[in-house]
Structure 1
Amino acid sequence: MKLRVLAVDDSRTMRGMLDAALRDAGFEVRLAEDGIEGLERLNEEMPDIIITDINMPRMDGFGFIEAVRAERRYRGLPILVLTTESAPELKARARNAGATGWIVKPFDEGKLAVAIERVATV
């Protein structure tokens, strides 16, 4: 069975890159352009893992992570942050919000696939 990934990013280009890379790696992919749409997609079908950007309109990645973790049924769902940000205080904030891991863009397709499989099967 394929792992289901929900990828949340406001960049159309990044969503396209994630979609192609993750499908090529054998994952089932759902996309959302910000935290609000991410929550809608999350409620439509249960992914095995979420990948989210931080800087997005309407609801940023921190708010999205907090909203996901506020729902009991999603507390154990792995969430990887994929962003251009690398400041330690932002990583700490994401971790405190409930993020499982942090990957800096641009991403290596192979390493991203390995990271997804590692945290999604834990």
Structure 2
Amino acid sequence: MAFRILVVDDNKISRETVQTLLVDAGWLVDGVDNAIQALANINHTDYDLVITGYYMPVIDGPHLTGLIKTRHDSADLPVIMLSTRSEADVAAAMDMQLLSMFLRKPLNCDAKRQLLDHISTLIVATSGKAA
């Protein structure tokens, strides 16, 4: 079974890099460039995971994460955040317990491998689907 993942990042290169990585791993991936589009997609599509950037116009990644987690229909949806900011900086701006994973951009080979390895575990743990 293929997992459906939503990638949210206003940086087209970052978004497309992550999308390609995930598609090559066999997952179904949708990409949007802002949080408003992400919330609309979440209303209409059953995602297994959301990967978001930190900096985005209008609604940033921390606020998007909070909105996802406060909705009854998506409260258990795993969210991974990718950011050029340090983990300590992100932790100062949001509750890190809302995130399933944080990785610093740009993603090197080890970080990409860690992301791919972690995604299956996250999805299986939260949805009960077999990897």
**Same fold per TM (> 0.5)?**
yes
* Amino acid paired to 2:7: A
Does residue 65 in structure 1 map to residue 68 in structure 2? no
Q: How far has the Cα of 1:36 moved from its partner?
A: 0.9
Following TM superposition, the consecutive aligned residue runs of length 4 or more in structure 1 with deviations greater than 6 angstroms are none
Shift of 1:110: 2.2
Which residue number corresponds to residue 119 of structure 2? 116
CA distance in 2 between partners of 1:44 and 1:11 (Å): 23
Q: Which structure's CA Rg is the greater one?
A: 2
Instruction: Say how many residue pairs are matched.
Output: 121
Q: How big is the shift at 1:94?
A: 4.1
1:17 aligns with: 17
Distance in 2 between the 1:109 and 1:89 partners? Answer: 21
CA RMSD across the alignment: 1.4
Unmatched 5+ stretches in structure 2: 126-131
Match of 2:96 in 1: 95
How far has the Cα of 1:18 moved from its partner? 1.1
State the TM-score, normalized to the length of structure 1: 0.91
Q: Is residue 32 of structure 2 the alignment partner of residue 32 of structure 1?
A: yes
TM-score computed with the length of structure 2 as normaliser: 0.85
| Percentage of matched positions with identical amino acids | 26
Structure 1 pair 111/7, CA: closer, same or farther in 2 (3 Å)?
A: same
Task: State how far apart, in whole Å, the 1-side matches of 2:122 and 2:41 are.
Answer: 20
The more displaced of 38-47 and 99-108 is 99-108
Cα distance change of structure 1 residues 94 and 104 upon mapping to structure 2, 3 Å threshold: farther
- Displacement of 1:42 in angstroms is 1.0
Cα distance, 1:91 vs structure 2: 2.6
Contact persistence 2:87–2:102 (CA under 8 A): no
Tell whether 2:86 aligns with 1:86. Answer: yes
Q: Is the 8 A contact 1:91 1:102 kept in 2?
A: no
| Structure 2: distance between partners of 1:17 and 1:89 | 24
What SS class does the counterpart of residue 51 from structure 1 fall into?
strand
**Cα 1:86–1:112 shift into 2, 3 Å:** same
